[in-house]
């Protein structure tokens, strides 16, 4: 087994020795690969000159161009504004099925209040600076117990007097401590904090802070002396080293052999350690632990990871990701070559100016008095052995080429191109060489995309993990103030300064294409105001929203007019329906009357034929004669009835337009039918009054 293979070596080595060996090997890897480069990046950002920064041996000027400094600060300001510019920089999601949202609002406000009190924003800004300069931002999540003093009054002597004092409350605080790269050690094969064997924070701390933690019981009560100086882990290597009252503290977070941790906790002998190992063969070889060592040899603390989520109290993010590497690529690394070329150009120009501006003189040394000082200054008397015009001659190396000014400007643009850091009010078209509105818009679009990539890395790898870990610490050690639940955190960052200015420009151009009565006009104005850094921005947006709300009285009047219009249309529809029903009834009546006419004609024919007839041949002939006449008359009346019925049907179809409005009015004229209810001309041969 793995434990049996390593038992002989690990039993001879204590936990502190195992941790220090790992940290020392990681320190050697950092020193050989990153230390020198990071130191130079730091000097370029600070504008500090060092002898190793010379570009040539004869270089005398020490000027450092501020181009890279501007790039670092502009990039950091963009991310800082995008994260904290609107005040609310994170939000919390609860379970969808949870209808009670007040716990979410309460937790969010409490977290904002505690973060503000513990100055989390200041620490995050320092981590952003470190990431821009060195390529990786690192911070330690520190849990501390503090005493909070609250002013209070208390009645004394039966309420006659009031005592003024303070209430002391013990409070758990979660703070964020930025860590410099030279003070952070990590497994060289790892690409993140979580997948590494472990990581360590190795730095100098004041002696009194260690003694206070020993008094409170956090650290073991053992002797800790002053630490020897180590120039490699000092935060600023240009300062003189302070020797007194400092302790080198190594805080290790990661996996350690389980039996070494047990041995360190129980301070047992080798035999007892072997017994512990035998009893714990079923457990894994490594265990997640926190180990604190002072001065590379004194164990102050060794315990299993006490946090309920089992996470490591360290967060880190790369400014730009380098594949398969923990250390990222920062702004200084991007603009390093352009900055060095720019510095070389400026220093060469200054050195050349020293040869062309300052007065120099060529002297014939054989004709100068012995011991004379060869210097030129105002009012000086120079003695010569002969004609001074022949002995002394002014010397000039020419003029500095004007091309260097253009070259310096182009090199400065190269720094901006490499880093992507430029303000929108800076050099027009410095990215693509176009000073038009479209060219500047394209340039800003490219810059914003690069900032967006860094912003996503920062949010997903640093900001949200820190907020999550801080909330879990508060839930574990202060559950009364922070209810325990599975909350999901996400960022509420907005656009940066450059991105907001770019968006405002686009919105203004869109606004110019619309009329003021367009419903989208006011929405665009509110979007423009929302992207501005105005002190009364919220008041302006509220005023615009109130102005866009309709007047209640006007709204009621409009609703009344609409209701009246609907009622009028209903009445017109009812009138049209009544006219249609009346026309249909009249047509049905005419049809019924027309169907009765043939029966009446037949009755009249029979009466006319049979009236005043007697038996006999003469009357029979008269009957036949009347019958033929009546048949002829009947046919004529049937034809006239059919013609009248057709005219009636034609008169019921037209629809005329009313004069009182736009509604159609149906008119059905009265038909005139002959032979219905009236007598037509009587047939000849039929006496009057015999019908």
**Collapsing DSSP states into helix, strand and coil, what is residue 622?**
helix
How large is the average pLDDT for residues 39-53?
A: 92
Confidence band (pLDDT; 50, 70, 90) for 689? very low
Model pLDDT, residue 532 = 65
pLDDT in tens, 595-625: 766 666 667 666 665 665 555 556 666 667 7
pLDDT for residue 31 is more than 70: yes
* More confident call, 223 vs 634: 223
Per-residue model confidence (pLDDT) at position 534: 61
Q: Tell me the domain boundaries of the chain.
A: 1-53+195-310, 337-436+443-451, 553-666
> By C-alpha distance, which of 515, 509, 552 is closest to 527?
509
Q: Which segment of 40-44, 279-283, 371-375, 481-485 scores lowest on mean pLDDT?
A: 279-283
pLDDT attached to residue 428: 45
DSSP assignments along 408-467, one per residue? HHHHHHHHHHHHT---TTSSTTTTTS--SHHHHHHHHHHHHHHHHHHHHHHIIIIIHHHH
At 309-334, the pLDDT tens digits run 999 999 999 999 999 999 999 999 99
Spatial CA neighbour of 114 closest among 458, 462, 471, 459: 471
**For the residues 28-41, what does the mean pLDDT come to?**
94
User: Can you tell me the distance from the alpha carbon of 625 to that of 272, in angstroms, rounded to the nearest whole number?
Assistant: 155
Give pLDDT, residue 614. 54
Across the range 277-301, mean pLDDT stands at 80
398 by Cβ neighbours in 10 Å (0-12 / 13-18 / 19+) ranks as exposed
> Residue 276's pLDDT is what?
43
Q: What mean pLDDT is reported for the chain?
A: 78
Residue 270's pLDDT band (cuts 50, 70, 90): very low
Lowest mean pLDDT among 8-12, 88-92, 154-158, 473-477: 8-12
Asked if the model's pLDDT at residue 681 lies above 50, the reply is no
The predicted pLDDT at position 163 comes to: 85
Q: Which segments within 563-609 are labelled E, that is strand? A: none
Q: Is the pLDDT of residue 437 over 60?
A: no
pLDDT at 465: 92
Per-residue pLDDT tens digits for 103-125:
777 888 889 899 999 999 999 99
| 386 band by pLDDT with thresholds 50, 70 and 90 | confident
Of all residues in the chain, the percent with pLDDT exceeding 70 is 74
The per-residue pLDDT for 299 is: 92
User: What's the mean pLDDT in 24-53?
Assistant: 93
State both tokens at 469.
Answer: 């870990």
User: Is the pLDDT assigned to residue 671 strictly greater than 80?
Assistant: no
Per the CB < 8 A criterion, the answer to whether 641 and 673 are in contact is yes
Residue 51 has pLDDT above 60, yes or no: yes
The answer to whether residue 272 scores a pLDDT higher than 50 is no
Q: And the tokens for 213?
A: 């933690």
Asked whether the predicted pLDDT for residue 572 surpasses 80, the reply is yes
Which position has the higher pLDDT, 492 or 145?
145
pTM of the model: 0.69
First-to-last alpha carbon distance for the chain, in angstroms, is 141
Q: What is the pLDDT of residues 521-534, one digit of tens each?
A: 777 777 777 666 56
Query: CA 338, 342, 343 angle in degrees (round to 5)?
Result: 120
Q: Please report the beta strands in 546-612, taking only residues with DSSP state E, as ranges in sequence order.
A: none
Whole-number pLDDT of residue 293: 94
**Candidate from 30-34, 306-310, 415-419, 430-434 with smallest mean pLDDT:** 430-434
């Amino acid at each position: 087994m793995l434990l049996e293979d390593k038992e002989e070596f690990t039993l001879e080595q204590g936990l502190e020795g195992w941790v220090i060996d790992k940290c020392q090997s990681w320190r050697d890897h950092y020193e050989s690969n990153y230390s020198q480069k990071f130191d130079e990046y730091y000097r370029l950002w600070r504008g500090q000159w060092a002898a190793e920064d010379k570009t040539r041996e004869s270089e005398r000027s020490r000027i450092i161009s501020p181009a890279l400094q501007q790039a670092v600060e502009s990039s950091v300001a963009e991310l800082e504004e995008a994260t904290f510019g609107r005040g609310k920089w994170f939000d919390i999601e609860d379970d969808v099925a949870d209808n009670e949202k007040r716990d979410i609002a309460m937790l969010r406000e409490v977290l904002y209040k505690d973060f503000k009190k513990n100055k989390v924003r200041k620490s995050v800004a320092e981590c952003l600076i470190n990431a821009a300069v060195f390529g990786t931002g690192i911070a330690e999540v520190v849990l501390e117990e503090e005493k909070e003093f609250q002013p209070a009054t208390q009645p004394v002597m039966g309420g006659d007097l009031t005592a003024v004092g303070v209430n002391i409350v013990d409070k758990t605080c979660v703070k964020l401590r930025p860590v410099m790269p030279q003070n952070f050690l990590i497994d060289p094969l790892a690409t993140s904090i979580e997948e590494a064997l472990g990581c360590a924070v190795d730095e100098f701390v004041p002696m009194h802070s260690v003694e206070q933690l020993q008094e409170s019981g956090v650290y073991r009560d053992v002797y800790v002396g002053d630490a020897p100086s180590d120039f490699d882990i000092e935060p600023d290597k240009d300062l003189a080293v302070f020797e007194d009252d400092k302790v080198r503290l190594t805080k290790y977070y990661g996996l350690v052999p389980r039996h070494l941790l047990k041995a360190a906790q129980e301070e047992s002998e080798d035999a007892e350690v072997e017994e512990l190992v035998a009893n714990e063969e079923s457990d894994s070889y490594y265990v997640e632990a926190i180990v604190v060592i002072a001065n590379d040899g004194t164990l102050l603390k060794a315990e299993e990871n006490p946090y309920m989520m089992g996470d490591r109290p360290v967060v880190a993010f790369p400014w730009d990701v380098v594949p398969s590497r923990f250390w990222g690529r920062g702004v200084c690394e991007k603009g390093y070559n352009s900055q060095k070329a720019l510095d070389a150009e400026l220093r060469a120009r200054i050195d050349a100016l020293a040869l062309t501006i300052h007065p120099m003189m060529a002297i014939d040394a054989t004709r100068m008095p012995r011991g004379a000082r060869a210097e030129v200054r105002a009012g000086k008397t120079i003695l010569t052995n002969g004609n001074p015009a022949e002995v002394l001659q002014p010397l000039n190396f020419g003029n500095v080429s004007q091309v260097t000014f253009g070259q310096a400007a182009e090199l400065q643009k190269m720094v901006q191109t490499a880093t992507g850091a430029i303000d929108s009010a800076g050099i027009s078209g410095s990215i693509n060489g176009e000073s038009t509105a479209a060219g500047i818009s394209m340039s800003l679009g490219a810059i914003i995309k690069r900032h967006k990539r860094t912003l996503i890395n920062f949010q997903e790898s640093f900001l949200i993990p820190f907020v999550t870990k801080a909330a879990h610490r508060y839930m574990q050690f202060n559950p009364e103030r922070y209810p325990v639940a599975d909350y999901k955190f996400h960022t509420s960052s907005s656009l940066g300064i450059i991105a907001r200015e770019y968006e405002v420009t686009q919105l203004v151009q869109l606004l110019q294409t619309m009329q003021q009565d367009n419903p989208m006009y006011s929405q665009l104005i509110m979007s423009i105001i929302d992207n501005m850094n105005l002190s009364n921005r919220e008041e302006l947006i509220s005023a615009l929203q109130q102005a866009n709300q309709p007047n209640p009285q006007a709204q009621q009047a409009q609703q009344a007019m609409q209701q009246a219009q609907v009622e009028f249309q209903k009445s017109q529809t009812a009138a049209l329906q009544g006219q249609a029903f009346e026309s249909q009834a009249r047509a049905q009546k005419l049809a019924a009357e027309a169907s009765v006419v043939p029966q009446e004609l037949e009755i009249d024919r029979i009466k006319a034929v049979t009236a005043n007839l007697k038996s006999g041949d003469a009357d029979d002939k008269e009957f036949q004669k009347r019958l033929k006449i009546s048949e002829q008359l009947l046919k004529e009346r049937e034809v006239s009835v059919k013609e009248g019925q057709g005219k009636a049907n034609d008169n019921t179809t037209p629809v005329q337009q009313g004069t009182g409005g736009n509604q159609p009015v149906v008119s059905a004229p009265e038909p005139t039918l002959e032979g219905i209810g009236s007598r037509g001309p009587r047939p000849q041969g039929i006496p009057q009054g015999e019908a």
